[in-house]
C-alpha cells in the first residue's frame, strides 16, 4: 500500500470530483485501496449522501481498475451500508450515514485521531464554544407555529437597514477599486484608520470612552478580541484569569486554550465579588455594564474597588461591553474604561449587537504598551479584518446610520423588554423573579421555590421555544437557578407566544 499514485488527468467531463489515491497497476492491492479510499471519502463527507458513483463500466476511466474489481468494491460498500444500488439508475452514497457501521469504525480506527489536541476534543470545550449552536430545530409537532428564540444576544436581521448598508458598501467598493488597499501595512493590520476614527467617536458618544485611533485594534468580533488578548496576556500554566461565574462560555474557552489558570468568581447584586479574586490574579474579565447573563450593572462603588484592586495587584481588566449601546434609563453609569485610573482596562466592543453578528467585526481599546503585541497576535491569526467590511462599517458610522439604527432598536428593544417584564411580574410571578437591570438585549429571572429550570427549558424546546436555563452559564457550582429571556431575535407576537407556552409548562409542572 506504500505504492500510491494519483489518478491520470481525465479529459472526459468530471462527473466525479473526488480525488482518490489509487494503487499501482499490478500491485494486487487495487481492490483494497479503492475500497479504503471510497470509504474514507464517504466517512469524511467528501462524498455526500446522494452522490452518484461512476458506473462499473466507467471503472477503468475513473479508478483505473477493472469492472470486476469495481463491482466487488461496490458490493462491499453496499454491505457496509455506505452506498445503495438503484435498479437501472446507478450506485449512490446513502442518505443516512450510520456512524457505527463497521466500515466507518474501521476507517476511524485508521485515522491518527490521537494527533488532535485533547483540549479541543474535550466535550465540555466543544459545548462551551458551540454555545450558539444548540438545540436546533423545533420538532415537527411544533412546526406549524412560528419558532420562538429567547436566546440572549441574538439580533433580528429583519430590522437591519440593509438598503443603507448596501449603498455605503457599494460606494466603498468603488473607492477600493480606484485605490486598492495595501495588504499587510502596519496600520492596515491594526484596522482601517477611518474605521478606528469612527469608532472613537461612536464610543465617546454612547459609552463615554475617550481614546485615540492609535489605541484601537479592529478584530473579527469580540470573540477574536478575547482570543488575541488571551494570546497576548496569558503565559501558559501561569497566568491566573478571574472570570465572572456565571459568564460567557466562549470567552472562557479562548483563555483556557491559551493555557490560563481560570478561576471562577461569583457575582452579587453589585457585580463581581472582589473578595473572591485570587491574590495573584493577572487578568480580570468582567461585563460591568450588563453582567452576562444575569444582567445587573456593576455599582459605582464596586467599580472603584475593582480598579483599585487591579492596580494594587498589578493586574489588568478586560471589559466586555457587548451590548452597552442599549441602555434603558437615565443611569449615569458609563463604561469602566471611561472612569478614572482606567488605563489598566482593555475595553472590548462589538458590532454584532448594534449591527449584525454576520459582519464579524469588533474592536479592543488597548493601552498603548500592549498594542504592538496585540497586532502581532492579530497578524498571526488573519493579518487583518476584510477591508470592504471595515470601510463600509466606517461609512455606516460616520454617515450617522449607526446612531439612527441604535436609536430605533432601543425603542424596539424597550417595547419587547417591557412585554417580558410585565409578563414576569404578573402571569409568571408565582414562579419567577426578574433581576433588575437597565441595559441590553436580555433579562434574566431567578426561579422561585422548586422550579426546575432545566426541565422547563427542555419542555419548551419540544414546543419550538428556545429558552436558556441559567445552568448552562456556570463554570463552578451552580449557585442560582433561573431562566434567560433574550429579546433580540423574536418580535412581540413571538415573545407573547413563547411566554404563554412557558406559563403552560410551569403550571403543568
Residues that bind ligand PLP (CB under 6 A): 153, 221-223, 248, 287, 292, 320, 322, 350, 352, 357, 362
CB of 350 to ligand PLP, least distance (A): 3
CB of 151 to ligand PLP, least distance (A): 9
CB of 219 to ligand PLP, least distance (A): 8
CB of 427 to ligand PLP, least distance (A): 27
- Closer residue to ligand PLP in complex, CB, 215/320: 320
The grid coordinates listed for 282 are 493577572
- Closer residue to ligand PLP in complex, CB, 77/195: 195
- Closer residue to ligand PLP in complex, CB, 223/475: 223
What's the Cα-to-Cα distance from 409 to each of 76, 151, 291, 405, 491, rounded to whole Å?
59, 17, 20, 6, 12
- Closer residue to ligand PLP in complex, CB, 282/357: 357
Using CA atoms, how far apart are residues 232 and 254, in angstroms rounded to an integer? 12
Using CA atoms, how far apart are residues 321 and 407, in angstroms rounded to an integer? 18
CB of 137 to ligand PLP, least distance (A): 21
Q: Which of left, alpha, beta for 295 (phi over 0: left; psi -120 to 50: alpha)?
A: left
> Residue 432, exposed/middle/buried by CB under 10 A (0-12, 13-18, 19+)?
buried
- Closer residue to ligand PLP in complex, CB, 338/354: 354
DSSP letter at 357?
G
Q: 240-244 and 283-286: which strand pairing?
A: parallel
- Closer residue to ligand PLP in complex, CB, 165/322: 322
CB of 128 to ligand PLP, least distance (A): 13
Q: 283-286 and 271-272: which strand pairing?
A: unpaired
- Closer residue to ligand PLP in complex, CB, 40/350: 350
Using CA atoms, how far apart are residues 188 and 383, in angstroms rounded to an integer? 9
- Closer residue to ligand PLP in complex, CB, 364/451: 364
CB of 473 to ligand PLP, least distance (A): 10
Using CA atoms, how far apart are residues 36 and 107, in angstroms rounded to an integer? 8
Which residue do the cell numbers 453589585 mark?
270
CB of 452 to ligand PLP, least distance (A): 25
CA triplet 355, 331, 418: central angle to 5 degrees? 65
- Convert 222-256 into a string of H (helix), E (strand) and C (coil): HHHHHHHHHHHHCCCCCCEEEEECCCCHHHHHHHH
Using CA atoms, how far apart are residues 347 and 219, in angstroms rounded to an integer? 12
- Closer residue to ligand PLP in complex, CB, 34/153: 153
Give the closest residue to 30 by CA, choosing from 9, 57, 58, 4: 4
Using CA atoms, how far apart are residues 423 and 410, in angstroms rounded to an integer? 20
The grid coordinates listed for 459 are 419542555
The grid coordinates listed for 347 are 475595553
CB of 326 to ligand PLP, least distance (A): 13
- Closer residue to ligand PLP in complex, CB, 77/443: 443
- Closer residue to ligand PLP in complex, CB, 119/132: 132
Using CA atoms, how far apart are residues 363 and 320, in angstroms rounded to an integer? 11
Q: Helix (H, G, I), strand (E, B), or coil: what is residue 23?
A: strand
CB of 299 to ligand PLP, least distance (A): 19
What one-character-per-residue DSSP string does 390-458 give?
A: HHHHHHHHHTTHHHHHHHHHHHHHHHHHHHHHHHHHTTTTTTEEEPP--BSSEEEEEEPTT--HHHHHH
- Closer residue to ligand PLP in complex, CB, 69/223: 223
Cα Rg of the chain, angstroms = 27
Using CA atoms, how far apart are residues 420 and 502, in angstroms rounded to an integer? 12
- Closer residue to ligand PLP in complex, CB, 357/434: 357
Amino acid at each position: 500500500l506504500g505504492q500510491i499514485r494519483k489518478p491520470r488527468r481525465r479529459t472526459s467531463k468530471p462527473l466525479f470530483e473526488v480525488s482518490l489515491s489509487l494503487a499501482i497497476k499490478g500491485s494486487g492491492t487495487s481492490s483494497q485501496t479503492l475500497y479504503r479510499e471510497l470509504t474514507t471519502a464517504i466517512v469524511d463527507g467528501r462524498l455526500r449522501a446522494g452522490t452518484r458513483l461512476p458506473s462499473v463500466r466507467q471503472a477503468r476511466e475513473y479508478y483505473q481498475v477493472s469492472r470486476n474489481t469495481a463491482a466487488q468494491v461496490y458490493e462491499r460498500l453496499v454491505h457496509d451500508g455506505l452506498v445503495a444500488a438503484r435498479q437501472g439508475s446507478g450506485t449512490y452514497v446513502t442518505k443516512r450515514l450510520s456512524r457505527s457501521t463497521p466500515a466507518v469504525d474501521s476507517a476511524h480506527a485508521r485515522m491518527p485521531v490521537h494527533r488532535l489536541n485533547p483540549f479541543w476534543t474535550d466535550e465540555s470545550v466543544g459545548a462551551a464554544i458551540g454555545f450558539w449552536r444548540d438545540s436546533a430545530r423545533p420538532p415537527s409537532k411544533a412546526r406549524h407555529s412560528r419558532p420562538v428564540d429567547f436566546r440572549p444576544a441574538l439580533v433580528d436581521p429583519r430590522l437591519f437597514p440593509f438598503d443603507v448598508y448596501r449603498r455605503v458598501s457599494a460606494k466603498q467598493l468603488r473607492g477600493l477599486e480606484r485605490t486598492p488597499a495595501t495588504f499587510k501595512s502596519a496600520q492596515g493590520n491594526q484596522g482601517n484608520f477611518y474605521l478606528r476614527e469612527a469608532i472613537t467617536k461612536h464610543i465617546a458618544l454612547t459609552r463615554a470612552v475617550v481614546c485615540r485611533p492609535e489605541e484601537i485594534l479592529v478584530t473579527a468580533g469580540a470573540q477574536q478580541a478575547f482570543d488575541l488578548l488571551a494570546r497576548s496576556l496569558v503565559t501558559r500554566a501561569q497566568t491566573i484569569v478571574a472570570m465572572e461565574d456565571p459568564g460567557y462560555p466562549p470567552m472562557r474557552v479562548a483563555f483556557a486554550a491559551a493555557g490560563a489558570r481560570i478561576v471562577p468568581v461569583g457575582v452579587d447584586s453589585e457585580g463581581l465579588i472582589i473578595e473572591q479574586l485570587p491574590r495573584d490574579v493577572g487578568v480580570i474579565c468582567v461585563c460591568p455594564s450588563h453582567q452576562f447573563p444575569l444582567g445587573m450593572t456593576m455599582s459605582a462603588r464596586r467599580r472603584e474597588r475593582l480598579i483599585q484592586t487591579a492596580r494594587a495587584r498589578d493586574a489588568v481588566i478586560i471589559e466586555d461591553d457587548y451590548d452597552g449601546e442599549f441602555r434603558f434609563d437615565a443611569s449615569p453609569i458609563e463604561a469602566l474604561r471611561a472612569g478614572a485610573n482606567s488605563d489598566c482596562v482593555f475595553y472590548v466592543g462589538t458590532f454584532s449587537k448594534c449591527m449584525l453578528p454576520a459582519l464579524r467585526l469588533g474592536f479592543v481599546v488597548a493601552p498603548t504598551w500592549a498594542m504592538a503585541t496585540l497586532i502581532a497576535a492579530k497578524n498571526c491569526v488573519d493579518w487583518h479584518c476584510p477591508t470592504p467590511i471595515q470601510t463600509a462599517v466606517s461609512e455606516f458610522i460616520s454617515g450617522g446610520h449607526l446612531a439612527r439604527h441604535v436609536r430605533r432598536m432601543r425603542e424596539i428593544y424597550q417595547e419587547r423588554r417591557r412585554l417580558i417584564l410585565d409578563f414576569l411580574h404578573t402571569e409568571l410571578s408565582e414562579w419567577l423573579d426578574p433581576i433588575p437591570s437597565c441595559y441590553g438585549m436580555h433579562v434574566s429571572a431567578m426561579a422561585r421555590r422548586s422550579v426546575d429550570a432545566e426541565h422547563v427549558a427542555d419542555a419548551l424546546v419540544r414546543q419550538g421555544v428556545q429558552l436558556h436555563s441559567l445552568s448552562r452559564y456556570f463554570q463552578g457550582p451552580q449557585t442560582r437557578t433561573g431562566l434567560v429571556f433574550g429579546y433580540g431575535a423574536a418580535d412581540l407576537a413571538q415573545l407573547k407566544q413563547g411566554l404563554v407556552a412557558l406559563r403552560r409548562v410551569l403550571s403543568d409542572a
